[in-house]
Structures are given as C-alpha cells and as structure tokens.
Amino acid sequence: MQQDQSSAPLRRVQPPRRKWPWPLDLYQSAVGKKWAMAVTGVMLLGFVFFHMLGNLKAYLGPEQINHYGEWLRDIAVPALPRTVFLWLLRGGLIAAFAIHMHAAYALTRMNHRARPAKYASERDYVAADWASRTMRYTGVIVILFLIFHLADLTWGTANGDFVRGSVYHNMAHSFSRPIVAATYIVANCALAVHIFHGAYSLFASLGVSNPKLVKFRRNFAVGFAAIILIGNISFPIMVQAHVIEDHGSQPYHAAAVVR
C-alpha cells in the first residue's frame, strides 16, 4: 500500500543566504558585529585619549595649545595639502563611530529577537553590572554631547565669542559659563562609564578570555576611564577656579611660541 504523499508534512525550503564579500559577510553574524565594535572601540578609545592629552597643553599657556591646534592642520605638509591629513583622520573617525553605533544597534536587535519576551522574574545582575546595563543611555548622552562639543569648540556656533585658531580663548570662554562647565562634567561622567564597560568588554569581543587576564581587564578599564574622566573634567573645573583664565582672543602666531 503506497503512502498518500498529499498527507506528508511539507518542509519549508529556506532560500540560500546571500553571500557578501568578506569582511561584509563576517559582519552579518553576531561575532562579526562584536569584532567590529571592538576594533572601532579601540580606534575611538585611542582618539579620546590623545584628544585629552593634546588638550592638556592648555596648562602650558595659550601659545602652546594654539600652536598644537595649528600643528594638527599642518600634519603631512608638504606631502599633502594643509588640513588634508586632518580631514582624512576625521573621516576615519566618523566611519568608525558610525560602524560602532550600527553594530551596537544591530546586536541589540538580535538580542531582542532571540528573547522577544521579557524575563518572567527579576534578573540577577551579578554578571551584567550597572555600567553594562546603562550602555545605551550613556551612549545617547555621549552622542548628544559630541554634537554640542563640535558646535561649541569646532564650529563655534554654540560659542558666543568663538575665534578661529584661538583654541585657548575658545576653551576659557566656553567653560567660564557655569551651565556649559556643568554640562561637560556630567557628559564626561557618562563617557567614563561608557568607556569603562567598553574597555572591559572589548577583550571578550576579540576572543581574549584567559582567566588570568580578568583582573587586568578590570584594572585597565577602571584606570583608563579614570584618566579620561580626570583629564577632561579638569578643564571646566580649572576655568571655574580661575586657574585657566582668558588672555585675549589672539590666534596662534609662530613667532610667539617659546622654542
């Protein structure tokens, strides 16, 4: 007796997944997105550190930090026209920032699809600490702060006495406003929390899971985040304390630099 094939269960044929060129194909997976977040995170951490380090020249006086601002525009001159290298660097950072945000959003969506229903009981947050649970919120604060920071000290649209090329004056004038100083302090606290979790988790994202490195990971994350926080909030605090004071709005002149 032959089996009635019409009653046999139908198997759903899945269409073959589109093959992307590597590394786009790797990026389609959760592992690839975590790698992308880790690599771009390292790039952004490096930028934040060296940006803070360069700004410390404000403590050496207006000539030094104004000279540093001009040097950034003159990198790779005469091999490249003036400011070209700086714009290439900015383009790379924008791309890294965009990839970082997209990977974070995509991973969050993947996690929600994997668990569409909320937890039936209260979660145990032993592993997922406070910093990791607030990453999306601190990330939004950092994005909004970045826009304001650019408008304040790069474009000058949020700085009522902005003078192009006078980095020291622009910083001193901006941070002399208490509301702006408070905004920078709060935003950099959020940035430090974001950096702490990002610096701690990037090792796992890159596949470095040696138990001997767990203590080092935490110490590195705490130390790095603390350095960035102390360095960045020192500027508005020192301006408010009149340690850094405005000495006029003159832009950089090479003859004024102490050699």
Could you tell me the pLDDT band of residue 135, with boundaries at 50, 70 and 90?
A: confident
- Give the separation between CA 110 and CA 217, rounded to whole angstroms: 26
- Give the separation between CA 255 and CA 237, rounded to whole angstroms: 31
Residue with more model confidence, 129 or 76: 76
pLDDT surpasses 50 at 120: no
Could you tell me the pLDDT band of residue 117, with boundaries at 50, 70 and 90?
A: low
- Give the separation between CA 235 and CA 185, rounded to whole angstroms: 9
The one-letter amino acid at 52: M
Q: What is the mean pLDDT of the chain?
A: 84
- Give the separation between CA 239 and CA 216, rounded to whole angstroms: 35
Buried (b) or exposed (e) across 29-64, using 16+ Cβ within 10 A?
eeebbbbbbbbbbebbbebbeeebeebebbeebbbb
3-state secondary structure (DSSP) of residue 40: helix
pLDDT surpasses 90 at 112: no
pLDDT surpasses 60 at 26: yes
- Give the separation between CA 189 and CA 255, rounded to whole angstroms: 38
- Give the separation between CA 156 and CA 150, rounded to whole angstroms: 8
Could you tell me the pLDDT band of residue 211, with boundaries at 50, 70 and 90?
A: confident
Report the pLDDT value the prediction gives residue 123, as an integer from 0 to 100.
Answer: 45
Report the pLDDT value the prediction gives residue 2, as an integer from 0 to 100.
Answer: 53
